[in-house]
Chain A
Amino acid sequence: MSRTLSIFRREFQGYFATPVAYVFIVIFLFLTGLFTFYIGAFYERGQADLEPFFRYHPWLYMLLIPAISMRLWSEERRSGTLELLLTLPISLAEAVVGKFLAAWAFTAIALALTFPLWLTVNYLGNPDNTVIAAGYLGSLLMAGGFLAIGSCISALTRNQVVAFVISFVVCFAFNLSGFPLVLDFFSGWAPQAVVDAVSSFSFLTHFNSIQKGVIDLRDIIFFTSLIAVWLYANMLAIESGKGH
């Protein structure tokens, strides 16, 4: 536990030792603002809620989370620090979880920095703050899901650009897995059960229900187990990539 914490701390401080953190946060805040006010028509709707803000998170994360996750393991592999890290007296799980949590905490900070929007909506009207809290929770869980996917994919390659592109595509597929674009790919040949299973993986569906204020245990279990499965795959990817 204390070793996971050490890994977490090192990794987390690493974000702020380079411009990565600041660039990411600025771009994230800029884009959330852009989507909320221009595309989401925050003012024009005349409703005191943050729906136009949360609505675009799946799409923002699809682009921005791979930018955070791409370096998680590919950089360690490329620079040789993977060997240093994994010959220290820590388990692979501690390393994977520590690094993942640091990246997640970092996105949580970026998300928390959108608080002026929450202040604004409370100033302008009387929103249901429990719905907003649920929205933040759902958004954070979804960010974790995207990060776990990106972390695993970054362990498969030394090349950050490759990690970014593949993570982007996989995140895109997870976003759209409830839509014909993805389902048609399966429905031609796979049994209905598979098609249903694929469609149930849609981040959009699970996120939308949480962000409407309906905190269903199933949605929370969906995201947490998805994170667990991808992090486990992450461990396997590191294990198989060692020494090559």
Chain B
Amino acid sequence: MENLIEVRDLHKRFGPLTAVNGVSLSIPRGEVLGFLGPNGAGKSTTMKMITGFVAPTSGSISICGHDVGSNALAAKRKIGYLPEGAPAWGEMTPASFLDFIADIRGLSGAHKANRIKEVVAKINLGGVLNQSIETLSKGFKRRVGLAQAILHDPEVLILDEPTDGLDPNQKHEVRALIKEMAPNKAIIISTHILEEVDAVCTRAAIIARGRLLFSGTPHELQAKSAKHNAVTLTVASTHAAEIGSRLGELAEVLRVESHPQAEGRTRITALSRNGGVIFEVIQTAVQQHGWPVAELFVEPGHLDEVFRTITMGAQTPGEVPHS
């Protein structure tokens, strides 16, 4: 499949600080890449380089075959970009703002009017079209930024924290919008909301201290969790010790954690030895011994735990910034 975004060995240094250190990404049409990382990890800097705002110290970026360094205008035409914080000129109204963006993007006549109408409807800006942007709520400002980014129906979308500051309903709408556009575009979204990766992304990339530490499907990311495929049972605390030790004896179980809960109950989690499915084994054991179990479920794998493990591990010596 053709890669709409091709980033090769990207480096960016600000004086003694290495903000981005050897990042490579290939994103084909139809892929939504969730860009994860702690604050200051280099997510925004990478996006600024992909969109041509900041020049990389070394490395190359190509957008739909156009090199961002040598053929910036052609590359920029293919990109829709929502910068961090969704900046817009506060004294403008969404109507005049979108009109300006359409002019700069070379849309004109009926096509321009149609595109603006479509985008306004899609993003629900109808009610605030003639209100100055600086008086809008954070959620509306973000949506104005999003409208601007998708106005020319670009093949490549780069969205820096598109759902930041939105309420749960708005988040849901924006995610639905991204999903709807996904089949025809290559999309990068940065976020620090892990559930978002699960909700909209086909791929996740984790960056910390400027290095790409993980790249794979959200499922693969979950599989890195120690709790992947672990099974949790809630039982009466009086039975907890016995059940815990029996489960610990099973060959498939690595170890057992138990956490006392309210109302005399205890939650027991059996971790899978090799990450494989152990639900059936546990269920059989429960039935054999006739344990009274209030709850029995497979742990989904905790993304935030994986995120912490991966990004904290990056902060080891040897990461001394180049000068």
Contact = CB atoms under 8 A, between A and B. Distances in A.
A193 interface: no
Interface stretch (A22-30, A86-94, A165-173): A86-94
- Looking at A7, A9, A89, the one whose CB has the most chain B CB atoms below 10 A away is A89
Contacts of B48: 83, 243
A13 B73 CA distance: 26
Contacts of A13: 96
Given A3-B104, A6-B103, A243-B48, A86 B89 contact: no
B85 interface: yes
Interface string B274-306: 000000000000000000000000000000000
B54 A242 contact: yes
Interface in A1-47: 2-3, 6-7, 9-10, 13-14, 17-18
B83 A83 contact: yes
B51 A79 contact: no
B273 interface: no
Contacts of A243: 14, 45, 48, 53-54
A80 interface: yes
Given A6-B100, A88-B101, A244 B14 contact: yes
Contacts of A119: none
B53 A87 contact: yes
B142 interface: no
Nearest to A79: B87
Interface string B62-81: 00000000000100110101
A34 B89 CA distance: 36
B198 interface: no
DSSP class of A's interface residues: helix, strand, loop or mixed? helix
A81 B53 contact: no
Nearest to B19: A243
A242 B53 contact: yes
A91 B73 contact: yes
B87 A81 contact: yes
A86 B100 contact: no
A84 interface: yes
B11 to A, nearest CB: 14
A83 B91 contact: no
A10 B90 CA distance: 12
A81 B89 contact: yes
B308 interface: no
B121 to A, nearest CB: 23
16 contacts: A3-B104, A13-B96, A14-B91, A79-B89, A80-B85, A81-B87, A83-B83, A83-B84, A84-B87, A84-B88, A87-B53, A88-B76, A88-B105, A89-B77, A243-B48, A243-B54
Given A6-B103, A86-B53, 4 more contacts: A80-B85, A89-B73, A90-B73, A91-B73
Interface of B: 14, 45, 48, 51-54, 73, 76-77, 79, 81, 83-85, 87-92, 96, 100-101, 103-106, 132, 148
A-B complex: 9 closest residue pairs judged by Cβ atoms: A80-B87, A243-B54, A6-B103, A17-B91, A89-B76, A83-B83, A87-B51, A89-B77, A81-B87
